C-alpha cells in the first residue's frame, strides 16, 4: 500500500516515486520511505536571546521576532545577518561562552484524502544543535526517543505529532543553544580550550540541515538499517528498529533487488519473520541469504536495494527502503584485507567545514579523481547522502567521532552519546570501514597518565568489536594508542608524520617500520603497558604532507608540491606500510594545504597523483 498525499493548500507537496527516490534523494537521510513530506526549509522568524530569557518569559507562547533567517543555515550566519556584519567580523568576539537563538514559522494543517488511523504526522530535523527544544503551538514536544531536549548537532531526530493539537494554522518554535564548552563533542570547532586559528575553525552550529513534515505509520520500522555481511556464505545480518503504538503480531518481510534495476518487481531474495511486538521500540536482528551475491569494493561498488515491510495482522504495511553492499574488512598482521584480498589504502584527509551538500558532492568526485580509494572524514558528521554517494562511486570511508576538547567524566559521557547517535545512522553504508574514537588525544589529553581515560577507550573499543564487527576501530589516531598487557587496543597502528624534507621522511619511515615507539611522531605511539611491535598490526601513516600550510612546511608551488607528493608516496610503498592518508583535500580557513578547489572541485595537482596501487596491481575486483 502507499500513503495518500496530503494537501498543504497553497504550499506545494508531492509524493516520490520509487524511481525518483533511487535516482535522487532530496532529503538528508540515508533510508527512505514511500510517504508524503513537505520541506519546512526557507524563511523563518529569528531572534537572538542574549540574556537567555526566552524560556522564563515564554517566547514559545508568543514573541515578536525582529529578524528573518533562512533555514538551513548556521547560527553564526544568522547572527551576522541580524547585525549586518560579515561572519568573520561576528566571530571575533561575538560569543565566547554561550549563544541562545529562537526560530519560528507557520504551516497550515495538512489535509489527507482519507484517514484510516494507521498513520500520523512527524517532524524530522536533519541536524540541529547542539541543544534543541521544539514547541508546536506552544506545547513542548518530545522526540521519538522520549527526550524534551535533543543534544548533538550532527545527526537527525524526529517528533511525532498529536493530531488533536494541530490547528488550521500552526506555529513551530525552535530554541537552539550552544556554548564553547570543551566537554561536548566539537570536532575542530573552537572552544574554551582551543581558540580559532591555525587548525582550529570557527563554530558552525544551529539549523544546519533541512527540516521536514512527513507522514509515518503508527506501527513502523524506523529509518535505520544495520548491515553485517557474511560474504563466505552470501548472507546478510540486518538489524531493524521497530516503533510500535499498537502491540500485537507483525510480519517483517524483506525483499532484495539489484539496485540498478530499481523498478524491477522480481526480488533476488525474499524472507519473512513473524514478530510479536510490544509498544515502544525494539531492535531485531534477522539473517537472510542473497544467493550468488556480488561483492562491493571501490573498483566494483555493487549495491543491492533492500525493501523492508512491517505488516500488521490486518495486512497493513509500513515500508522503508535502503541499499547495502556485501563486503568484509579485516586487519591481519601487517595488512588490511577487503573481501579477503589485501588492499593498500590510498587515502586523503577531508574536512568538510562549512561546505554545502553540492560542494561536498564535487569534493567526493574530485578525491576519487585524485586516485584515492579512501576518504578520512575528519572528526565531523556530514549529510547522510554523502555516505550514500561514497557507496555508489566506490570510495571507502574512515569516519570519526567529533571530539570533545577536555578529558573528564562528563566529556566521556558526551563522547559515548555522540558515538551512539552516529552509529544508529551510519550502520548501513558498505563504504564505511574504519571508525576512530579519538584523534591525537583531543578530549583524552591524559591518556598516558589517567587509567580512567584508558579504561573508557578500551571498553568502547571492545564494545565496537562485539557490536559492530563490520568496522575496523582505531582507539586514538595519530599517536598514544593504548596497550593493555602488551596487546594493542586498536585494529591499526597509526601515525601522524609531518616533515617537508625527503631525507628526514625516509628516516622516520624506517623508524616506524622498525617498531620504534618514541621519537617518530609528536608523542609516543603507544602508552599504557609495554608494547613490542613485530608486524602484528597494519601500519597506517594516517596524516602526512600538509604541504603549503605554514606549520607543516614544504613547497607552495603546485608543481613542486606534486613532485614532493609523488616522492613521499614512493618511499612509503617501498616499506611494509598498509596505507596512508594525505593531508588534505581542500583549504579551510587558515589551513591552506588543499589540492582541490573548495568551491568548484577542480584539481590543483595532476589526476591520479595519490593512486599508488597501479605499481603492484593491488586492487580488489569484488
Q: Which of 314, 139, 322 lies closest to 217, judged by CA? A: 314
Mean pLDDT across the stretch 82-90?
69
Is residue 7 pLDDT above 50, yes or no?
no
Q: Contact at 8 Å (CB) between 540 and 580?
A: yes
Say if CB 47 and CB 101 are below 8 A apart.
yes
The answer to whether residue 276 scores a pLDDT higher than 80 is yes
Confidence (pLDDT) at 391: 98
Strand, helix or coil for residue 566? helix
Q: What is the DSSP string of 156-175?
A: -EEEEE-GGG--SEEEEEEE
β-pairing, 579-583 with 539-545? parallel
Q: pLDDT value at position 116?
A: 74
pLDDT digits (tens, 9 = 90+) for 330-366: 999 999 999 999 999 999 999 999 999 999 999 999 9
> Which DSSP helix (H) or strand (E) runs through 503?
helix 502-513
**Portion of the chain with pLDDT greater than 90, in percent:** 86
Q: What is the mean pLDDT of residues 524-546?
A: 97
Please tell me the predicted confidence (pLDDT) of residue 282: 96
Cα–Cα distance for residue pair 442/460, rounded to 1 Å: 16
Q: How confident is residue 389, by pLDDT bands cut at 50, 70 and 90?
A: very high
From CA 172, how far away is CA 256, in angstroms rounded? 39
pLDDT 10s digits, 174-227? 999 999 999 999 999 999 999 999 999 989 999 999 999 999 999 999 999 999
Residue 138 dihedral angles phi and psi, to the nearest 5° = 85, 0
Rg (CA), the chain: 25
Q: Quick check: 263 pLDDT over 80?
A: no
Average pLDDT over residues 515-534: 97
Q: Over 50: is that where the pLDDT of 558 sits?
A: yes
Q: Compute the CA torsion angle 324, 327, 329, 332 (nearest 10 deg).
A: 170
Whether cis (ω within 30° of 0) applies to the bond prior to 584 is yes
Integer Cα distance of 14 and 6 in angstroms: 8
Q: Are 479 and 441 in contact (CB under 8 A)?
A: yes
Taking residues 69-87, report their average pLDDT.
87
What are 167's three cell numbers? 490547528
Amino acid at each position: 500500500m502507499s500513503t495518500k498525499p496530503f494537501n498543504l493548500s497553497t504550499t506545494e507537496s508531492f509524493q516520490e516515486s520509487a524511481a525518483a527516490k533511487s535516482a535522487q534523494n532530496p532529503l538528508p537521510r540515508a533510508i527512505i520511505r514511500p510517504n508524503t513530506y513537505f520541506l519546512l526549509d526557507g524563511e523563518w522568524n529569528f531572534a537572538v536571546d542574549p540574556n537567555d530569557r526566552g524560556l522564563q518569559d515564554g517566547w514559545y507562547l508568543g514573541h515578536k521576532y525582529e529578524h528573518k533567517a533562512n533555514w538551513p543555515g548556521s547560527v553564526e550566519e544568522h547572527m551576522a545577518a541580524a547585525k549586518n556584519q560579515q561572519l568573520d567580523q561576528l566571530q571575533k568576539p561575538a560569543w565566547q561562552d554561550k549563544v541562545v537563538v529562537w526560530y519560528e514559522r507557520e504551516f497550515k494543517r495538512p489535509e489527507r484524502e482519507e484517514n484510516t488511523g494507521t498513520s500520523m504526522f512527524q517532524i524530522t530535523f536533519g541536524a540541529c544543535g547542539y541543544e534543541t527544544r521544539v514547541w508546536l503551538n506552544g506545547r513542548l514536544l518530545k522526540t521519538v526517543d522520549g527526550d524534551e531536549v535533543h543534544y548533538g548537532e550532527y545527526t537527525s531526530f524526529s517528533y511525532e505529532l498529536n493530531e488533536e493539537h494541530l490547528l488550521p494554522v500552526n506555529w513551530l518554535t525552535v530554541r537552539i543553544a550552544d556554548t564553547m564548552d570543551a566537554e561536548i563533542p566539537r570536532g575542530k570547532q573552537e572552544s574554551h580550550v582551543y581558540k580559532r586559528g591555525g587548525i582550529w575553525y570557527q563554530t558552525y552550529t544551529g539549523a544546519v540541515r533541512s527540516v521536514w513534515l512527513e507522514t509515518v505509520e503508527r506501527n513502523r520500522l524506523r529509518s535505520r538499517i544495520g548491515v553485517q555481511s557474511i560474504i563466505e556464505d552470501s548472507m546478510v545480518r540486518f538489524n531493524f528498529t521497530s516503533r510500535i503504538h499498537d502491540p500485537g503480531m507483525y510480519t517483517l518481510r524483506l525483499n532484495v533487488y539489484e539496485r540498478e534495476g530499481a523498478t524491477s518487481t522480481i526480488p533476488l531474495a525474499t524472507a519473512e519473520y513473524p514478530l510479536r511486538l510490544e509498544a515502544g521500540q525494539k531492535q531485531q536482528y534477522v539473517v537472510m541469504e542473497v544467493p550468488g551475491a556480488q561483492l562491493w569494493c571501490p573498483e566494483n561498488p555493487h549495491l543491492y536495494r533492500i525493501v523492508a515491510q512491517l505488516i500488521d495482522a490486518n495486512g497493513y504495511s509500513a515500508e522503508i527502503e535502503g541499499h547495502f553492499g556485501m563486503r568484509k574488512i579485516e586487519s591481519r598482521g601487517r595488512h588490511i584485507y577487503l573481501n579477503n584480498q589485501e588492499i593498500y589504502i590510498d587515502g586523503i584527509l577531508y574536512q568538510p567545514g562549512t561546505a554545502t551538500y553540492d560542494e561536498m558532492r564535487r569534493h567526493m568526485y574530485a578525491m576519487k579523481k585524485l586516485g584515492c580509494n579512501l576518504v578520512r572524514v575528519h572528526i565531523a558528521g556530514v549529510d547522510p547522502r554523502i555516505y550514500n554517494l561514497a557507496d555508489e562511486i566506490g570510495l571507502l570511508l574512515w569516519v570519526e567521532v567529533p571530539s570533545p576538547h577536555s578529558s573528564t567524566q562528563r566529556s566521556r559521557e558526551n563522547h559515548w552519546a555522540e558515538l551512539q547517535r552516529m552509529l544508529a545512522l551510519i550502520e548501513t553504508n558498505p563504504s564505511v570501514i574504519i571508525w576512530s574514537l579519538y584523534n591525537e588525544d583531543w578530549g583524552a589529553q591524559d591518556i598516558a597518565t589517567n587509567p580512567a581515560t584508558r579504561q573508557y577507550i578500551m571498553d568502547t573499543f571492545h564494545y565496537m568489536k562485539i557490536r559492530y564487527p563490520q568496522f575496523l576501530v582505531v582507539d586514538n589516531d595519530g599517536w598514544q594508542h593504548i596497550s593493555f598487557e602488551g596487546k594493542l587496543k586498536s585494529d591499526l597502528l597509526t601515525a601522524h608524520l609531518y616533515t617537508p624534507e625527503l631525507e628526514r621522511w625516509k628516516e622516520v619511515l624506517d623508524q616506524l617500520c622498525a617498531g620504534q615507539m618514541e621519537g617518530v611522531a609528536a608523542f609516543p605511539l603507544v602508552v599504557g603497558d609495554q608494547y613490542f611491535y613485530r608486524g602484528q598490526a597494519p601500519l597506517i601513516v594516517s596524516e602526512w604532507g600538509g604541504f603549503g600550510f605554514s606549520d607543516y612546511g614544504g613547497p607552495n608551488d603546485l608543481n613542486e608540491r606534486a613532485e614532493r607528493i609523488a616522492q613521499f608516496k614512493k618511499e612509503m610503498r617501498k616499506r611494509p606500510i598498509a596505507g596512508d592518508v594525505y593531508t588534505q583535500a581542500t583549504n579551510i580557513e587558515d589551513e591552506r594545504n588543499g589540492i582541490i578547489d573548495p568551491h568548484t572541485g577542480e584539481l590543483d595537482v595532476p589526476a591520479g597523483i595519490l593512486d599508488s596501487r597501479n605499481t603492484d596491481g593491488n586492487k580488489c575486483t569484488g
